[in-house]
A and B are shown apart, each in its own frame.
Chain A
Amino acid sequence: MELEGTHISIGYKKAAPVFKNISFRAQPGDMVALLGVNGIGKSTLLRTVAGLQNIITGEIKIEGKRMAQLTASAKATLVSLVLTDKINIDHITVRNLISLGRSPYTGWLGSLNEQDQKVINEVISLLHLQPLASKFFNQLSDGEKQKVLIARALCQQTPVLILDEPTAFLDFRNKKEIMKTLRQVSEQLHKIILLSTHDIEAALTYCNKCWIMTEQKTFVEVIRTADYKTQVEAVLQTKL
């Protein structure tokens, strides 16, 4: 039940990787913040871990399975995603959007069975989305939309949940609420949550690990201890 990366190189061209020699390991219940300046390769790393992009060298394993060898539908039962891509669909209700998270488990028509409905209901009540369930997605605020997208990902019931800058467009209150929700999810559902962020304060408050992609192209892990904050600042500042 873990996420493991060994000596990964990421990028778009084999000859010129964006970032090299990344190794990491996360356990269920871990909430990990991926930190680093713009353009350093955070999104590329997240997309690679999620299997959206080919790995250049190295290996990523989830629950002991090598991601590179799996089909899209097998990957979909291991990693779920919340991206920064805008979703603009007319006439889709919150409940229907969340239900799409069950896709890896439904048949060719995508019909939901009792088990699927049960999972969807549980996720909706876990995130307190009952009042929004029958509204159209396009009518929601940015904070509500983000919660719905997290709910969709949770319906995939994957051991790993990846979020690309989940709080980037949110105000202070929504930021706090989303981070709190994620913390609760990782603890209650025993998931590995990996998120990229520029909000170091939030990372220190809610995440028990920070993975830092430094400008010197080293990959540093800092684990929550008594001097968590000073360590993270040290890695970020000395190299700034």
Chain B
Amino acid sequence: MSQRNLPLFLFLCVLMVAAFVLQLVLGSVSIPLADILKVLGGGHIENETWRNIILEARLPGAIAAVLAGAGLSVSGLQMQAMFRNPVAGPYVLGISAGASLGVALLLLAGSFFGGMVGLHLLSSWSVIAAAAVGATAIFLINFFISFRLNDVVAFLIIGLMIGGGIGALIEVLQSVSGNEALKQYVLWTFGSFRYVSSTQVMYLSGMVGMGIGLTFFLSKPMNLLLLGDSYATSSGLDVRKTKLFIVFTTSILAGSITAFCGPIGFVGLAVPHVARALFKTSDHKILIPATMVIGAIITCLCNVAASAPGSDFVLPVNAITSLLGAPVVIWIIVRQKKL
């Protein structure tokens, strides 16, 4: 972090902490900030319900939001460096399509075959496992195609087609499945941090922590990949190994986040661009921490917006991130074409 960028980075860190605390404060039940701080500090408060809301509902969700924002953004950054394409991201590359397919197969096909649809299935480990398996499978298929083609545009189009095919498959499943399963599935596609339990958030932080830890080893390789495969190789980089390493970390990050929180669109795609525009650099030593912090701020704020403070509604996080993200992506393309 250079002299010029450090104040900006610290400012964003403060903003992230503020956004994190905001998640604990705002919600359908209003709890005084003093009591919240007391509970977090390990102290005792009179109202046992408030204590539960803070420790069992709001805190795990708030942590999940930070992890998801940081993890998805940094995996988008990796994808964009690897494919040298500004519209690459975990979302475009089929991870969430694959996860959706996994969950659809579990919930919808499960109900069709007279299976196991419980009421609180959304947060269950079987859903998480199904999403993880589906995400990994589709991403690997996409990846091997891209390795053979070595053509970014063709690859993205194929990714889009695979996504379309999966969408169709899911529609077929939806048409034959029962109402309750359908509702469960649709709720899952909304994406949510609030259903992540305090046990699950520990596993999630383990996975995301590992993925982010590995990412810090990638700053130099990612800088070289920006030059293209030939230049990167002639600069001494083992390009094949590096790409496998990137696939591995991205799968861990985006796969685990999608599994625990459902699909969270556009964060991975849009946040790296915001970081580049703010820090005016292409150096991944700076971009990796910058995208993580900006991503965390955005998902925290989206989580607050989703809880629609003061009302009884809960909005889909995925819809909010997409509403924010889609204009950013349009802006990227317009700016690049200099329209």
Q: Is B38 part of the contact surface with A, judged by Cβ < 8 Å?
A: no
Name the residue on A nearest B335 (C-beta): A90
Contact with B along A63-78 (1 / 0, CB 8 A): 0000000011111110
Which one, A47, A73, A85, A87, contacts B236 given CB within 8 A?
Answer: A73
Considering only residues 84-128 of chain A, those with a C-beta below 8 Å from chain B are: 85, 87-92, 96, 100-101, 103-104, 106, 108-110
Which one, A89, A90, A101, contacts B235 given CB within 8 A?
Answer: A101
Interface size band for A: 20 to 34
Contact B236 A103 (CB under 8 A): yes
Known interface pairs A87-B227, A91-B276; A81-B234 also in contact (CB < 8 Å) = yes
Contact B227 A100 (CB under 8 A): yes
Contact B280 A91 (CB under 8 A): yes
Contact A76 B276 (CB under 8 A): no
Distance, CA A80 to CA B230, complexed state (A): 11
Considering only residues 160-210 of chain A, those with a C-beta below 8 Å from chain B are: none
Distance, CA A108 to CA B245, complexed state (A): 14
Distance, CA A65 to CA B156, complexed state (A): 41
Distance, CA A89 to CA B231, complexed state (A): 13
Name the residue on B nearest A86 (C-beta): B228
Contact with B along A31-73 (1 / 0, CB 8 A): 0000000000000000100111000000000000000000111
Contact B223 A85 (CB under 8 A): no
* Chain B contacts for A50, CB-based, 8 A: 234
Known interface pairs A90-B276, A91-B276; A81-B231 also in contact (CB < 8 Å) = yes
* Chain A contacts for B238, CB-based, 8 A: 71-73
Chain A nearest Cβ from B144, distance in angstroms? 20
Q: Is A8 part of the contact surface with B, judged by Cβ < 8 Å?
A: no
Which one, A74, A76, A91, contacts B281 given CB within 8 A?
Answer: A91
Chain B nearest Cβ from A202, distance in angstroms? 24
* Chain A contacts for B331, CB-based, 8 A: none
Distance, CA A103 to CA B238, complexed state (A): 12
Contact A110 B219 (CB under 8 A): yes
* Chain A contacts for B236, CB-based, 8 A: 72-77, 103-104
Contact B282 A109 (CB under 8 A): no
Distance, CA A79 to CA B233, complexed state (A): 11
* Chain B contacts for A129, CB-based, 8 A: none
Contact B282 A90 (CB under 8 A): yes
Contact A52 B219 (CB under 8 A): no
Distance, CA A50 to CA B234, complexed state (A): 7
Distance, CA A91 to CA B273, complexed state (A): 11
Distance, CA A96 to CA B283, complexed state (A): 8
Q: Is A156 part of the contact surface with B, judged by Cβ < 8 Å?
A: yes
Contact B235 A76 (CB under 8 A): yes
Chain B nearest Cβ from A112, distance in angstroms? 11
Chain B nearest Cβ from A74, distance in angstroms? 8
Q: Is B224 part of the contact surface with A, judged by Cβ < 8 Å?
A: yes
Considering only residues 198-244 of chain B, those with a C-beta below 8 Å from chain A are: 217, 219-220, 223-224, 226-228, 230-231, 233-239
Name the residue on A nearest B273 (C-beta): A90
* Chain B contacts for A88, CB-based, 8 A: 84
Considering only residues 251-283 of chain B, those with a C-beta below 8 Å from chain A are: 276, 280-283
Name the residue on A nearest B280 (C-beta): A91
* Chain B contacts for A85, CB-based, 8 A: 228, 230-231
Distance, CA A77 to CA B233, complexed state (A): 12
* Chain A contacts for B51, CB-based, 8 A: none
Q: Is A83 part of the contact surface with B, judged by Cβ < 8 Å?
A: yes
Distance, CA A220 to CA B226, complexed state (A): 37
Name the residue on B nearest A93 (C-beta): B281
Distance, CA A131 to CA B102, complexed state (A): 56
Contact A108 B230 (CB under 8 A): no
Known interface pairs A90-B276, A91-B276; A75-B219 also in contact (CB < 8 Å) = no
* Chain B contacts for A87, CB-based, 8 A: 226-228, 231
Distance, CA A110 to CA B230, complexed state (A): 19
Distance, CA A85 to CA B230, complexed state (A): 9
Name the residue on B nearest A110 (C-beta): B220
Contact A81 B230 (CB under 8 A): yes
Contact B285 A110 (CB under 8 A): yes
Chain B nearest Cβ from A58, distance in angstroms? 21
Contact B223 A72 (CB under 8 A): no
Chain B nearest Cβ from A149, distance in angstroms? 9
Which one, B217, B220, B227, B233, contacts A72 given CB within 8 A?
Answer: B233
* Chain A contacts for B276, CB-based, 8 A: 90-91
Can you list 18 pairs linking A and B with CB atoms under 8 Å apart? A47-B230, A51-B234, A72-B238, A76-B234, A76-B235, A83-B228, A85-B231, A87-B226, A87-B227, A89-B226, A91-B276, A91-B280, A91-B281, A100-B224, A100-B235, A103-B236, A109-B220, A110-B285
- B residues in contact (CB < 8 Å) with A: 84, 217, 219-220, 223-224, 226-228, 230-231, 233-239, 276, 280-283, 285
- A residues in contact (CB < 8 Å) with B: 47, 50-52, 71-77, 79-81, 83, 85, 87-92, 96, 100-101, 103-104, 106, 108-110, 156
Task: Using A89-B226, A91-B276, A103-B224 as known contacts, list a sample of 11 further A-B pairs with CB atoms less than 8 Å apart, ordered by residue number in A.
Answer: A47-B230, A51-B234, A52-B234, A71-B238, A72-B237, A73-B237, A81-B231, A85-B228, A100-B223, A109-B219, A156-B235
- 10 closest residue pairs by CB, A with B: A76-B236, A110-B220, A73-B236, A104-B236, A81-B234, A103-B235, A92-B282, A91-B282, A89-B226, A85-B228
